[in-house]
A and B are shown apart, each in its own frame.
Chain A
Amino acid sequence: MQITVLLLVLVGLTAAGYYMGRASAVRAVGGRIAALHSVPAYYGVYVALWAGLPAFLLFLVWGASENWIVMQMVLGALPQNMTDGSEQSLSLLKADILNIAAGISTGREPDPVVLAAAERYNMLRALGDWMLLAIGSALAVAGLSYARGRIAPDLRARNLVERVINVFLVGCSLVAILTTAGIVLSLVFEAMRFFTVYPIFDFLFGLQWSPQTAIRADQVGSSGSFGAVPLFAGTLLITLIAMLVAVPVGLMSAIYMSEYAPPRVRATMKPVLEILAGIPTVVYGFFAALTMAPFVRRLGESMGMSVSSESALAAGFVMGIMIIPFVSSLSDDVINSVPQSLRDGSYGLGATRSETIRQVVLPAALPGIVAAVMLAISRAIGETMIVTMAAGLAANLTANPLQAVTTVTTQIATLLVGDQEFDSPKTLSAFGLGLVLFVVTLSLNMIALRVVQKYREKYD
């Protein structure tokens, strides 16, 4: 309630600050706007920022620390013997206080001391909110009047405002970067934990993958074996099959679209191909599992081969179809960016269209096409759903596309589905796999981006 009021007050003061700042800037020069250092609107924004920003920052800091401060005050007032216990009993106590304060029944008859603490907690919070409202509003008014007082024709309002905007933009990009860094770090640390339980060498080069471990000490079960080679091999096999489908088809359709298709055909074909890219992978997954896999099996049987009902071929084929638009769309862009002057040069020498495409356009576009293929590969390696549904979970070490294989991503998904103990090697091995996956796709993407960059430089 108080917080809503505070936010409304801030919005109001900010808006008022804008108009006041603008008006007093104009007044300061008697209407001769050219005499101002910046356009009047900048003075408005300047005052508005002073009115809104400090109070808003206070609000953020307060919001982040209020619960903690209030809890410390409440705990400090409790008898020593209650707060002296172990860390666990302390957090239990805190949870009780919070629950009662929020009016949630804990199921037990509450201890009167705890009850009193909860009341105190609520009281302190309400007080805090009122204080926040008072201080925040005061801060906003103070900022507003300070900034208004500073307005003068030679105040460099634009530069100041732009500096604030700059900081804001840097902050936004930091969010993305820090999140990524956080994810990578947690991945690395969890993987390290795994490697202390299970040697990294055995993980990377072991041929046996059977992650079932005993959950309770008295249970019978295997001790788990985490040799990831079958997973890497399975991933490679499926990716290879997918690429064998996606690269030729994608590239040919890109060539058709960019070099042969009349503009009207191209205008319909490109969006249609891009719809293919918009189909959720789960849909591809059940297409693979329910249509493709039985089809492959029947086909194999009619030719006298034994095909397992979940085959690398079915999964890889469907994955290839999924990736076609990726390859074709990127390659189409690359081929289109080959300068027309090169084609003209070739036609001018009496080359036919196909000679021009084969000997001039494709070689010129090759780096870009390679980059597109690499991005497609990293997409294929990271794809999970299709493989989970169509290729199975059996970690066979085989190069036979008619057998069931499994991939890194599928295993990660299955390892973490369901109830897990977060420090068992089984769970931790998922982070090991994740780290490998991350390193591989990251390097593929980086190489691809470098190649594309080089290629861009050549023609701009």
Chain B
Amino acid sequence: MSIQTRTHVKAAEATNPQAAAAPAAKMVARDVKVFYGAKQALKGINIDILENKVLALIGPSGCGKSTFLRCLNRMNDTIDNCRVEGLISLDGEDVYGRRIDAVQLRARVGMVFQKPNPFPKSIYDNIVYGPRIHGLASHRDEMDEIVETSLKRAGLWNEVKDRLREPGTGLSGGQQQRLCIARAIAVSPEVILMDEPCSALDPIATAHIEELIDELRENYTIVIVTHNMQQAARVSQKTAFFHLGDMVECDDTEEIFTNPRDERTQGYITGRYG
């Protein structure tokens, strides 16, 4: 089911002239500025998010990483006094434009939050929540299949297959976070945004999720915010360093960690501040 949707999307991309001009960029941000009331949180960000790659966003707290991430699926719309300027496009289409609705966009650009937030429903209902509201599945068998594939992809199937009817809130923290990932996968998004997905987890659960991210890259484009330098180095191919609302530099992860061009980047990754 989800595979079909994906091939369909790729076909559309190939015929899209704009996408052809920048073939590997799934999402593009150009001069993105964000204001919370009068306060400016982002000061003109330019980033290309490459398809089937993991992009890590690093930087000290309050530098605007979450804000940027939330622009990508328009989650900032839910904040009253938040204003976004600049261009963000998905497959060459302006996500703040007329033709895309925030609700549809969020089905294509999924999100995993810092604190695991399973709904107070059964594990099964947590997974089918998205597919149900988007009408992706109507029959029982289809839903069963979505639940199974999503949980398998999230590496949770073996642990929960016998208790799908039990509440998702009863799982351990790491399991809850994987459930949230499975829930996001279930609507077959093209991009998955993760905001510090491991910061509430223990090292073993973290390792689990990192492994998972690496596997998910095959099918999805991933943007992850992390405070953990090792984690960024392990899971990402590209890394962007944010500082005080600016994107200081964005490059191959290896480059950033071995040979940062800006001295602020160097200071941050060597732990001099942040």
Contact = CB atoms under 8 A, between A and B. Distances in A.
Interface of A: 262-263, 339, 341-352, 355, 359-360, 363-364, 458
B117 A355 contact: no
Contact of A349 (B78, B80, B130): B130
A233 B175 CA distance: 52
A458 B120 contact: yes
Contact of A345 (B73, B107, B117, B133): B117
B133 A349 contact: yes
Interface string B142-170: 00000000000000000000000000010
Given A363-B120, A458-B120, A458-B169, A348 B110 contact: yes
Interface stretch (B2-10, B39-47, B179-187, B256-264): B179-187
B120 A350 contact: no
A341 B169 CA distance: 13
Which interface residue of B117, B118, B130 has the most chain A CB atoms within 10 A? B117
B106 interface: yes
Contacts of B137: none
Given A348-B113, A355-B133, 18 more contacts: A339-B117, A342-B120, A344-B75, A345-B113, A345-B119, A345-B183, A347-B78, A347-B106, A348-B75, A349-B129, A350-B103, A350-B105, A350-B107, A350-B130, A351-B103, A351-B133, A363-B119, A364-B120
A349 B113 contact: no
A443 to B, nearest CB: 26
B106 A360 contact: no
B170 to A, nearest CB: 11
Interface in B89-112: 103-107, 110-111
Contact of A341 (B117, B129, B133, B134): B117
Contacts of B169: 458
Nearest to A367: B120
Contacts of B80: 262-263
Which interface residue of B104, B119, B130, B134 has the most chain A CB atoms within 10 A? B119
15 contacts: A263-B80, A341-B115, A341-B117, A344-B75, A345-B117, A345-B118, A345-B183, A347-B75, A350-B103, A351-B130, A352-B103, A352-B133, A360-B119, A363-B121, A458-B169
Nearest to A349: B130
A376 B169 CA distance: 30
B113 A341 contact: yes
A262 B80 CA distance: 9
A350 B117 contact: no
Which interface residue of B78, B134, B184 has the most chain A CB atoms within 10 A? B78
Interface residues of B, number: 27
A343 B75 CA distance: 11
Contacts, number: 69
B119 A346 contact: yes
A308 to B, nearest CB: 47
Q: Majority SS of interface residues in chain A?
A: helix
Contacts of B184: 348-349
A342 B117 contact: yes
A349 B183 contact: yes
A90 to B, nearest CB: 70
A263 B78 CA distance: 14
Which interface residue of A345, A351, A359, A363 has the most chain B CB atoms within 10 A? A345
B179 to A, nearest CB: 11
Contacts of B106: 347-350
Interface string B63-77: 000000000010100
Contacts of A339: 117
B113 A344 contact: yes
A355 B130 CA distance: 10
A129 B86 CA distance: 88
What 9 A-B pairs are tightest by C-beta distance, nearest first?
Answer: A350-B107, A348-B111, A350-B106, A341-B117, A349-B130, A345-B117, A364-B120, A350-B103, A355-B133
A350 B135 CA distance: 12
A263 B121 CA distance: 30
B165 to A, nearest CB: 16
A452 to B, nearest CB: 15
Contacts of A360: 119, 129
Contacts of B105: 350
A458 B73 CA distance: 29
A343 B111 CA distance: 12
Contact of B187 (A345, A349, A363): A349
A344 B69 CA distance: 13
Given A347-B106, A349-B107, A349-B183, A359 B133 contact: yes
Contacts of A342: 117, 119-120
A413 to B, nearest CB: 44
Contact of A348 (B73, B118, B133): B73
A345 B180 contact: yes
B253 to A, nearest CB: 26
A364 B119 contact: yes
Contacts of B104: 350
Contacts of A351: 103, 129-130, 133
A363 B168 CA distance: 14
Nearest to A356: B133
Interface in B25-42: none
A420 B111 CA distance: 72
Interface string B168-198: 0100000000001001100100000000000
A263 B184 CA distance: 31
